[in-house]
Structure 1
Amino acid sequence: MNNLSLAAVGDNTVDIYYGADDESFIGGNALNTAVQWSLMGARAGYYGAVGSDDLGFRVREALAKNKVNTDGLTELPGKTSTTLIRVEPSGDRIIAQDNFEVSATYMPSADDLDDIATRAFVHIGMSPFASRIRNELASRGVQISQDCAVSEGFEHLDVAFCSAGEESAEAHTMAREAIDGGAQLAIVTRGADGSIAFDGRDWFSVPAVEIPAVVDTTGAGDSYIAGFVAARAQGKSVLDCMRAGAAVAAKTCQHRGGFPQDP
Structure 2
Amino acid sequence: MRIAVTGSIATDHLMSFPGSFTDQLLADRLDRVSLSFLADRLEIRRGGVAANVSFGLGLLGLRPVLVGAVGADFEPYRVWLKQHGVDTDSVLVSEEAHTARFVCTTDRMQNQIATFYAGAMTEARRIDLRSVVERVGRLGLVMVSPDDPEAMLRHTRACRALGVPFAADPSQQLARLSRREVLELVDGARWLFTNEYEAALLRDRTGLTEAELLRRVGCWVTTHGAAGVRIRRAGRDVLAVPAVEVPGVVDPTGVGDAFRAGFLAGTAWDLPERCAAQLGCVLAATVLDYVGTQEYQLYRDVLLARLRDTYGVGCAAHLTPHLREVS
Q: TM-score range by the shorter chain?
A: 0.7 to 0.9
Partners in 1 of 2:141 and 2:113 — Cα distance? 29
Identity across the alignment (%): 23
Q: Offset at 1:33?
A: 0.7
Partners in 1 of 2:192 and 2:56 — Cα distance? 19
Change (3 A) 1:172 1:61: closer
Aligned to 1:72: 90
Aligned to 1:258: 293
Which residue of 103, 115, 126 maps to 1:84?
103
TM-score (norm 2): 0.70
Q: Pick the structure with more helix per residue.
A: 2
Change (3 A) 1:186 1:224: same
Q: Pick the structure with more strand per residue.
A: 1
Partners in 1 of 2:213 and 2:89 — Cα distance? 34
Change (3 A) 1:178 1:238: farther
For 1:14-59, what per-residue CA distance to the aligned partner results, in whole angstroms no more than 9, with x for missing partners? 0111125520111111111111111011122211111123xx2232
Partners in 2 of 1:58 and 1:93 — Cα distance? 31
- Partners of 2:62 and 2:85 within 8 A in 1: no
Which range is displaced more, 199-208 or 110-119? 110-119
How many residues get paired? 253
- Partners of 2:189 and 2:217 within 8 A in 1: yes
Task: Give the gaps of 5 or more residues in structure 1.
Answer: none
Aligned to 2:75: 57
Partners in 2 of 1:114 and 1:178 — Cα distance? 36
Which residue of 188, 198, 204 maps to 2:222?
188
Change (3 A) 1:242 1:171: farther
Aligned to 1:26: 46
Partners in 2 of 1:131 and 1:172 — Cα distance? 16
Aligned to 1:48: 68
Which range is displaced more, 234-243 or 6-15? 234-243
Change (3 A) 1:259 1:13: same
Aligned to 1:156: 188
Partners in 1 of 2:217 and 2:115 — Cα distance? 29
Task: Give the gaps of 5 or more residues in structure 2.
Answer: 18-40, 174-181, 297-327
Partners in 1 of 2:269 and 2:112 — Cα distance? 35
Q: Offset at 1:182?
A: 2.2
For 1:124-179, what per-residue CA distance to the aligned partner results, in whole angstroms no more than 9, with x for missing partners? 222212122112112222221122213443113110110125x9x94996892783
Matched residue type, 2:220: A
For 1:162-211, what per-residue CA distance to the aligned partner results, in whole angstroms no more than 9, with x for missing partners? 0125x9x9499689278357221111111112111211222111111112
Q: Offset at 1:86?
A: 4.0
Aligned to 1:8: 5
Residues 1:227 and 2:254 aligned together: no
Partners in 2 of 1:121 and 1:47 — Cα distance? 13
Larger C-alpha radius of gyration, 1 or 2?
2
TM-score (norm 1): 0.85
RMSD: 2.7
Aligned to 1:205: 240
Matched residue type, 1:65: Q
Matched residue type, 2:49: N
Change (3 A) 1:208 1:246: same
